Structure 1
Amino acid sequence: MAKPFNDAERDAVYRAIYERRDMRHFVSDPVDPAVLERLLDAGHHAPSVGYMQPWRIARITDPALRRAVHATVESERVATADALGERRDAFMKLKVEGMLECAELLVMALMDGRERHIFGRRTLPEMDLASVACAIQNMWLAARAEGLGMGWVSLFDVERVRQLLQMPNGARPVAILCLGHVDEFYREPMLETERWAKRMPLAECVFENRWPAGEAKKLAD
Structure 2
Amino acid sequence: MLYLPANARYSMEGKYFDEAAVSILQDIILHRRDVRGNRFLSVPLEEAVIDQLLTAALHAPSVGFSQPWEFVLIRDEVVKQQVRNSFQEENSRAIPQFSEEKQPEYIRLKLEGIMEAPLNIAVFYKPSDKPVLGQTAMSEAGLYSVVCAVQNMWLMARALNIGIGWVSILDPEKVKQVLRAPSSNKLVAYLCVGYTDGFFTQPELEILQWEKRKMKEAVVFKEGY
Length-normalised TM-score, structure 1? 0.91
Q: How does 1:22-61 map to 2 (within 5 A)?
A: 22-24=34-36, 25-61=39-75
The alignment covers a number of residue pairs equal to 210
For structure 1, the 5+ residue unaligned runs are 212-221
Question: Counterpart of 1:15 in structure 2: which amino acid?
Answer: D
Identity %: 36
- What is the SS of the residue equivalent to 1:116? coil
Q: Indicate conservation of the 8 Å contact 1:50/1:117, yes or no.
A: no
Question: Counterpart of 2:117 in structure 1: which amino acid?
Answer: C
- Quote the RMSD (CA, aligned, Å): 1.4
Counterpart selection for 1:143 from 157, 169, 176: 157
Q: Indicate conservation of the 8 Å contact 1:102/1:180, yes or no.
A: yes
Identify the residue that residue 166 of structure 2 maps to in structure 1: 152
Identify the residue that residue 99 of structure 1 maps to in structure 2: 114
Identify the residue that residue 110 of structure 1 maps to in structure 2: 125
Length-normalised TM-score, structure 2? 0.89
The Cα offsets for residues 162-188 of structure 1, whole Å up to 9 and x where unpaired, read as 111111121121211011111110110
Residue 184 of structure 2 is aligned to residue 197 of structure 1: no
Identify the residue that residue 11 of structure 1 maps to in structure 2: 23
Tell me which stretches of 4 or more aligned residues in structure 1 moved more than 6 Å.
Answer: none
Residue 49 of structure 2 is aligned to residue 20 of structure 1: no
The Cα offsets for residues 102-134 of structure 1, whole Å up to 9 and x where unpaired, read as 1211001111x4352332222211111110110
Matches of 1:115 and 1:74, distance apart in 2: 35
Q: Indicate conservation of the 8 Å contact 1:22/1:150, yes or no.
A: yes
Counterpart selection for 2:94 from 80, 89, 95: 80
Residue 185 of structure 2 is aligned to residue 171 of structure 1: yes
Matches of 2:68 and 2:107, distance apart in 1: 34
Question: Counterpart of 2:21 in structure 1: which amino acid?
Answer: E
Matches of 1:115 and 1:83, distance apart in 2: 38
Identify the residue that residue 4 of structure 2 maps to in structure 1: none
Question: Counterpart of 1:174 in structure 2: which amino acid?
Answer: V
